[in-house]
Structure 1
Amino acid sequence: MKAIILLGTLKKEGLSNTAVLSEFFKEKLQQKNVECEIIQLVNENILPGTYTNMGAGDAWPAILEKLAAAQLIIFATPIWWGNHSSEIQKVIERLDNIHDEILAGKPSRLANKAAGIIITGDSDGAQHIIGNISNFLNAIGLVLPPYASLSVLWEGQKKGAAPTREQLMEKYEKEYSKTAATMVEQLMKYAQ
């Protein structure tokens, strides 16, 4: 089984809470023999638009091929002003072409794949983001199992805070291992 984590951090380099939580979750997947790749979206040349291929140099078509080959797709985002990141919004906009194909009577290229959502932040907003992303995932044929979200809202992740990678991993391991393990089990169970 293969998983792709679409990492929506806005940081091209340096410590990212969302990247560390994604690495934590990747470890949980690998413990169940799930091959996992994290795609850091901000480092990819994903052109703006709502079609599968927006022209020369567009990295999206190759990423979409990876999604089509995976059984599990996870959207990982920080919270910014109560919403998911602009990088995750770009992915939603690029996946809109699949919705157009469904409306034209074609089957979804991502049908029956299991999807999950990972969120980091320092305050409320996770439920709103889960609702928005879940609505979109449903519209393009992805299955969102019960218990398929992992949200860590903690003041230690606020903008300007400087936890170390080790401190983040320690917190995630101590407080979120059971939630992450349940999410992995659910994703594997519902992927077809």
Structure 2
Amino acid sequence: MKAVILLGTLKKEGVSNTAVLSAFFQQKLEKQQVECEIIHLVKERILPGTYTNMGEGDAWPAILDKLTAAQLIIFATPIWWGGHSSEIQKVIERLDHVHDGILAGQPSKLAGKAAGIIITGDSDGAQHIIGNISNFVNAIGLVLPPYASLSVLWEGQKKGASTTREALMQKYEAEYSKTADTMIAQLLKYAH
């Protein structure tokens, strides 16, 4: 079983809440014998557009190949002004070509794969993001099982906080292990 986490943090370096929560989730997946790759989107050269290949140097076609080979696809995003990050929006825009194929009567390249959502922030916005991403993944043939989201809203994650990676991991382990384990069980149950 393979999983890909599409990491939508805007940070290329330093401590990212979303990156740490994704690493926490990756560890949990690997304990269940799931091979997991985290794709740090902001470090990839994903060209703007709504087609699978936007030209020379575009990293998206190779990323899409990884999604096609995986059984689990996780969208991981911080909350920015009540919505998902621009990096996750870029993924949605690039996956629009899969939706075009579905509208043309072709089977989805992603049909039968299970999707999950990871969200970090310091205040409201998780429900809105879950709704938007759920609507999109449904439209491209992914299955979003019940209990397939992991949201951590905590003031220690606010912009500019100096919370360490170790403190974040301790928080996630102490308070979110059961939620993560439930999410993984659901993803494994629903993936085809």
* TM-score normalised by length of structure 2: 1.00
User: Structure 1 residue 7: deviation in Å?
Assistant: 0.0
RMSD: 0.2
**SS of corresponding position for 2:115:** strand
Q: Which amino acid aligns with 2:64?
A: L
After the TM superposition, which residues 97-112 of structure 1 pair with which residues of structure 2 at under 5 Å, given as runs? 97-112=97-112
Aligned identity (percent) is: 83
Q: Distance in 2 between matches of 1:82 and 1:47?
A: 25
Q: Which amino acid aligns with 1:161?
A: A
User: Structure 1 residue 54: deviation in Å?
Assistant: 0.1
Q: Which amino acid aligns with 1:77?
A: T
**Match for residue 159 of structure 2?**
159
Q: Which amino acid aligns with 2:168?
A: L
User: Structure 1 residue 146: deviation in Å?
Assistant: 0.3
Q: Distance in 2 between matches of 1:46 and 1:2?
A: 22
Confirm whether residue 21 of structure 1 aligns to residue 21 of structure 2.
yes
Unaligned runs of 5+ in 2: none
User: Structure 1 residue 47: deviation in Å?
Assistant: 0.1
Q: Which amino acid aligns with 2:188?
A: M
**Match for residue 38 of structure 2?**
38
**Match for residue 69 of structure 2?**
69
Q: Return structure 1 stretches of 4+ with deviation > 4 angstroms.
A: none
Q: Which amino acid aligns with 1:73?
A: I
Count residues with an aligned counterpart.
Answer: 192
After the TM superposition, which residues 51-66 of structure 1 pair with which residues of structure 2 at under 5 Å, given as runs? 51-66=51-66
Q: Which amino acid aligns with 1:179?
A: T
User: Structure 1 residue 24: deviation in Å?
Assistant: 0.2
Q: Distance in 2 between matches of 1:99 and 1:64?
A: 13
Q: Distance in 2 between matches of 1:102 and 1:160?
A: 42
**Match for residue 82 of structure 1?**
82
